[in-house]
Structure 1
Amino acid sequence: MDDIVKQALAKWPNVPACYGWLGLDVRGRWYLRDDATQALGPFAHSRGTLLAHEKLIAFIHRNYEPDAQGCWFFQNGPQRVYVELEATPHIWRLQPDGGVQSHTGQPAQVRSAWLDEAGHFYLDTDIGFGLVHSADMAAVADAVEQGRWTPQEMAGSDLPARFGFVRSPQALQAVRGPA
């Protein structure tokens, strides 16, 4: 977490969290979701405005983490901005050297591989769980054929509970009520 964010948290510790305003899609892209966009429906159906500002995206990446309930957020100064996930908290990119990197730029060590009923490929790593980017499926096939990964099968709907993440903190917050 950035030092300036830590300082803001110390100065203003009780800023209410923000829900529904930021989304992460299956390709690792961030979307800003204003009130009008949110009124059109959940993130998978109503994305919002694609963020393109490189420094803002880098700031989000440096300050992106989960809370104790598995809800992922971006710590924006003193305010937590909870992220609506189209799929998973990380979107993995396979590197030419065989490494794995999150959409945030963090390298990861693979612990296990998973395949759902739709053929989506996931990796559980030392920094979290995520979906492999669709552009990297040829490299995934090579890794499986070479014996680097042996995917286990699991229903896509079971992944959040098994790997401890929440796709929609906004929906969870609506059920629980304000903190």
Structure 2
Amino acid sequence: MDDMVKAAMAKWPNVPHCYGWLGLDERGRWWMRDAAAQAAGPFVGPGASAASRGSELRHAGLIAFIGRNYACDDQGQWYFQNGPQRVYVELACTPWVWRVQPDGGLYSHTGQPTMPTEVLVDERGWVYLVTPLGVGVVHSQDVPLAVEHWEAGRWPVTEPRSVHSATLPERYRFVPSPAARRASASSAIK
């Protein structure tokens, strides 16, 4: 986490969290979801649309800042620590998106190097890797490279295991939509 973020957190410890405004898609792209995008529907799933995705972030400095300050709380909700405020992330797929390098290197969408320990393939043919960082989907353009590396024995993984995509959040302890979870908890209290 950036030092300036830590300083802001210490200076303003009680800033309310932000829900629904930031999304991460299955290709590792960040999406800003303003009020209009949120009103158009959820980030993914039933009722989602191009309008509900929001606007793709393209500013390299902002994307790098988000990546350096991307973390998970103790409930499995992923967020970006924006100064003193947590901006919870709507996940289209998993909390990590892996980019595979020709030499066998593996990097997260935030640029962190890691190494796979397990390969999963879901009912749609999507490939996921479990790493010390957690579970993530392999970027669609990198699936052939991933197959090449595990078949050649360059990665310390066993044969791919079949998995149903709907089981990933519970199995790997992440919350796809902190906003929906918050809304559900609020309605249960009433």
CA RMSD of aligned residues (A): 1.2
Q: Which moved more, 1:19-28 or 1:144-153?
A: 144-153
Match of 1:111 in 2: 117
- Cα deviation, 1:83-126, whole Å, max 9, x if unaligned, reads 00000111000012101100000001212111111100001111
3-state SS of the aligned residue for 1:14?
A: coil
Match of 1:160 in 2: 169
Matches within 5 A, 1:68-107: 68-107=74-113
Identity between Structure 1 and Structure 2 (%): 57
* Number of aligned positions between the proteins: 178
| 1:176 partnered with 2:182 | no
Query: Partners of 1:108 and 1:51 in 2: how far apart?
Result: 25
Query: Partners of 1:108 and 1:177 in 2: how far apart?
Result: 37
Paired residue type of 2:101:
Q
Matches within 5 A, 1:8-157: 8-44=8-44, 45=48, 46-147=52-153, 148=155, 149=157, 150-157=159-166
Paired residue type of 1:102:
S
3-state SS of the aligned residue for 1:172?
A: helix
Which TM-score applies when normalising by structure 2?
A: 0.90
Identify unmatched segments of 5+ residues in structure 2: none
Match of 2:5 in 1: 5
Which TM-score applies when normalising by structure 1?
A: 0.96
Structure 1 runs of 4+ with >6 Å offset: none
Q: Which moved more, 1:140-149 or 1:90-99?
A: 140-149
Paired residue type of 2:25:
D
The Cα shift of 1:4 comes to 0.5
Query: Partners of 1:55 and 1:139 in 2: how far apart?
Result: 28
Paired residue type of 1:118:
R
3-state SS of the aligned residue for 1:177?
A: helix
